[in-house]
A and B are shown apart, each in its own frame.
Chain A
Amino acid sequence: MNIVRNHILISIDAGTLMAGARAVEDALIKELTKYGLDKEVSVLETGSLGITGRGVVLVVYPEGIYYADVTIKDVPELVEEHLLKGRPLKRLILTEAPKRTIITKEKTGLLKEQPRIVLKNCGFINPENIDEYIAAGGYEAIAKALQTMTPEDVVNEVKESGLLGRGGAGFPTGLKWEFAIKTPGDEKFVICNADEGEPGTFKDRLILEGDPHKLLEGMLIAGYAIRATTGFVYIRGEYSLSIERIEKAISDARSYGLLGKNILESNFSFDIFVKKGAGAYVCGEETALIESLEGKRGHPRNKPPFPINAGLWGKPTLVNNVETLANVPEIIRNGAAWYKGYGTEKCSGTKVYTILGHVATPGLIETEMGTTLKDIIFEYGGGIREGKAFKGALIGGAAGAFIGPEMLDVKMDFINLREYAAALGSGAILVMNEDTDMVDMLKSVLHFFKHESCGHCAPCRLGTAKLVDIIDEIAALKGKKEDLERMVEITQAMKNASFCPLGQSVSLPVSSALKYFRDEFMARVS
């Protein structure tokens, strides 16, 4: 038998691919072969290791040493030093790397640093290999559900877990499922919303790229719970690697009998199909997404009826975000009580954040609900780049809130942030240093909304255009003091009268920017 003494896990995701991860992988294999080490050292592909902006990232086990910014030029030295002579190559070691520990159910309670539920397998298994997912406990939850639970039991378990929808709104997932199970219908659908477009958010992409089977399993459980027969993953068109990986995962799951008819010899039959978007932020809104999936312009629909009553092709349809569904297998596998051991009283579990902007180590992390912004930025994000001071952050994407330093100690979760008139949203944390021009940042946010307004309703179409006119004037020092109040009035009107959440959400960035950075705006107007 061939015994492998070292495993090199190389992250293959959209970020590392553009830094040349494939070329580095090929060079590694070639170099190892040259020394005859190819039988002793295996090179494995995995999803994101959670580190972005540091080129090609890989980790060598059993030592668990992270290397970053690896280029093909470094490969001969890396192989010679670490794998031939056993001396880690210091100059490439990622020192901040981290306490990125996973916690499996066996280790609950230990190492609070990064409890990983959603990202448990990301960066540890090969996302293109279904066997590795199964070896990591994958598809155990659907087996448990099918063999020991009724659909109602599953819904109750999810309800009991307190899981809130991770797409941004934080609606209780179990409640949504309960509505779905109670809606009569001969045909029901489960849609996974993977139209991730909120600026600064890339958690869903990394879940899709790093652990696609986890999403499929979550959808299977949802399908069983609400008695649906078909699922769709709607992915934005720009995410080519996500589409490729999920398609491969679906075809592997089909060949294993985990999708299709009579799954695991039960009476439950379910299949999943991928649908690709074509560039429209508004399609992240569930009814617009359904319109788009049906092959129309992605205009939002009137609500009610909600998709749960009349969704795709008029049938009852459950729409959940990627991260929400990726939580489900672990909840079913370990139970609601276990899940509630993480997070805060009102908001259980973990949240996946993307940290970006002026932080030392931008990346993807998963941490318990209730972690303070200070911990996220300074512990996980490594603080502000180049030793500068923290000025503010935009939390939850463009439809999120600007916050100032006084918010650093606030515990982050869906419920608590609402009390501060902020929102957790998608979990994107865009950090800004002392040199940032907040007027300019709000300008960028408002330009984004003007561009992405679908034009369907007048308050949003005209409101976003007017807001852009005003902020451009202010940025050009031609604005007046009254303009600030006008912006607030317009966004309030949009909040009341817009057809869908896109127009309704513009008030949050505007009011929060004016709340925390009013002086800066005042200094620009006459």
Chain B
Amino acid sequence: MYREEILKKYEPSLDNILYILHDLQDNNPQHYISKEDIEVCANFLNIPYSYVHGVVTFYSMFSLKPRGRYIIRLCESPPCHLMGSESLLEYLKKKLNVKIGETTKDGMFTLELTSCLGICGVAPAMMINDEMVGNLTPERIDAILEERRQTS
């Protein structure tokens, strides 16, 4: 039902496809683009399913796999790398017991990597859902994850 509400906001014009996909993904309880999402988008824009699928797979912000409640996107670009993001990645993998792209068993966190987030003044940095966090250390990460666990 909610999907129709989302589509109502847009003109059925192809140049709105990224907005529509963002909106469908943000409102999907599992933060991903499901087959159903692709179908409604394709029908709405009157384009083939395969076309939408192709667009989804091109952009790194879209996922075809169900994801956790919180999506952690750690920056791996050179500025964050210089400030130690690689060791933080190892720390996160161990702490959450997941590989890159996987979700924790409790469905709470998904670990992803991202290119430069443009907040390099506080490198190493990451995004957790829409929020940016920086000056990361293992201790700060512990605190951030704990805070998210508490609030949910």
Contacts and interface: CB of A to CB of B under 8 A. Distances in A.
B82 A452 contact: no
Contact of B18 (A202, A205, A275, A448): A275
Interface in B103-121: 114-121
Chain B interface size range? 35 or more
Interface string A278-315: 11110000000000111111100000000000000000
Nearest to A201: B118
Interface of B: 13-19, 21-22, 45, 54-55, 58-62, 76-79, 81-83, 114-123, 127, 130-135
A238 B99 CA distance: 23
B40 to A, nearest CB: 16
Given A358-B82, A398-B77, A295 B22 contact: no
Given A53-B121, A238-B127, A398-B77, A198 B55 contact: no
B60 A53 contact: no
Given A279-B61, A279-B114, A200 B19 contact: no
Contacts of B17: 295
Interface string A430-467: 10100010001100110110011010000000000000
Given A15-B121, A18-B134, A444-B76, A201 B116 contact: yes
A202 B119 contact: yes
Contact of B82 (A201, A205, A292, A357): A357
Contact of A200 (B18, B55, B79, B127): B79
A394 B78 contact: yes
A240 B15 contact: no
A295 B16 contact: yes
A345 B120 CA distance: 32
B135 to A, nearest CB: 7
Given A278-B60, A278-B62, 13 more contacts: A18-B131, A201-B116, A202-B120, A237-B22, A237-B59, A275-B15, A279-B61, A294-B14, A294-B15, A295-B13, A357-B123, A398-B78, A428-B120
B77 A238 contact: no
Q: Which 3 pairs across A and B sit closest by C-beta, in order of nearness?
A: A52-B121, A278-B59, A279-B60
B109 to A, nearest CB: 18
Contacts of B59: 237, 277-280, 298
Contact of B116 (A53, A199, A364): A199
Contacts of A196: 118
Contacts of B54: 297
A441 B82 contact: yes
Given A53-B135, A358-B82, A14 B15 contact: no
B120 A354 contact: yes
**Among A198, A276, A444, A447, which residue has the most Cβ atoms of chain B within 10 A?**
A444
Nearest to A357: B82
B47 to A, nearest CB: 9
B18 A292 contact: yes
Contacts of B134: 15, 18, 53
Contact of B115 (A53, A281, A358): A281
Given A238-B61, A294-B15, A202 B77 contact: no
A258 interface: no
A358 B127 CA distance: 22
Nearest to A200: B79
B116 to A, nearest CB: 4
Given A18-B131, A277-B59, A295-B15, A199 B77 contact: yes
Contacts of A280: 58-60
